[in-house]
């Protein structure tokens, strides 16, 4: 059984996959970029974060042999959500590689139900699946079950 705490690393792709061997997804990168742009009240592109801006300022001082690595991160391939003031960093990282054509979602803490619904919405927008470990489909039914688990857990811990 899946618990919400285990869902720290999710993927969006049009089909299930295995991490063994070469994995090439089928997500439309431009459609993903538009989704992120349309949800600019939730997501921020890496190049617009404090860290991204610092890299942009120093880009000319970065050695040529590794500069490409940094500039590739500043080209709408990674975005963030849920700024955590205590950590001075974001709790959610989302990336989509033009080459692998998969969306990868990473949580720095256990996800919240509304966040799972947001990423399920993203997957639906991309005509794809929200996946755990590449195989387990996270759909409305599973999210509802996770929500019920949380409610039951809160009831048990209430005095």
Distance CA 146, CA 120 (A): 14
Q: Is the pLDDT of residue 75 over 90?
A: no
pLDDT higher than threshold 90 for residue 4? no
Residue 140: band (very low, low, confident or very high) from pLDDT cuts 50, 70, 90: very high
SS3 content of the chain, % helix, strand, coil (to 5): 45, 20, 35
- Dihedral sign for Cα atoms in the order 141, 132, 25, 20: negative
| Residue 8 CA: distances (Å) to CA of 5, 96, 106, 125, 153 | 7, 17, 6, 21, 20
pLDDT in tens, 52-65: 999 888 888 888 88
Summarize the confidence of residues 129-135 as an average pLDDT.
93
Confidence band, pLDDT 50/70/90 cuts, at residue 21:
low
Host H or E run for residue 159: none
Which string of b and e fits 139-158 if b means at least 16 CB within 10 Å? eeebbeebbeeeeeeeeeee
pTM as predicted: 0.88
Residue 129 pairs in a beta bridge with 13
């Amino acid at each position: 059984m899946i618990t919400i705490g285990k869902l720290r690393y999710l993927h969006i792709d049009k089909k299930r996959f295995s991490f063994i061997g070469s994995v090439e997804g089928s997500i439309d990168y431009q459609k993903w970029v538009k989704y992120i742009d349309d949800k600019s009240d939730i997501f921020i592109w890496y190049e617009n974060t404090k860290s991204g801006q610092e890299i942009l300022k120093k880009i000319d001082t970065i050695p040529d042999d590794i500069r490409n690595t940094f500039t590739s991160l500043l080209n709408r391939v990674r975005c963030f959500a849920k700024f955590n003031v205590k950590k001075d960093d974001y709790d959610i990282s989302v990336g989509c590689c033009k080459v692998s054509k998969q969306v990868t979602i990473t949580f720095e803490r256990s996800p919240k139900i509304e966040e799972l619904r947001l990423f399920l919405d993203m997957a639906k927008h991309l005509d794809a699946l929200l996946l755990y470990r590449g195989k387990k489909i996270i759909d409305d039914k599973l999210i509802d079950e996770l929500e019920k688990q949380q409610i039951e857990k809160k009831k048990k811990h209430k005095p």
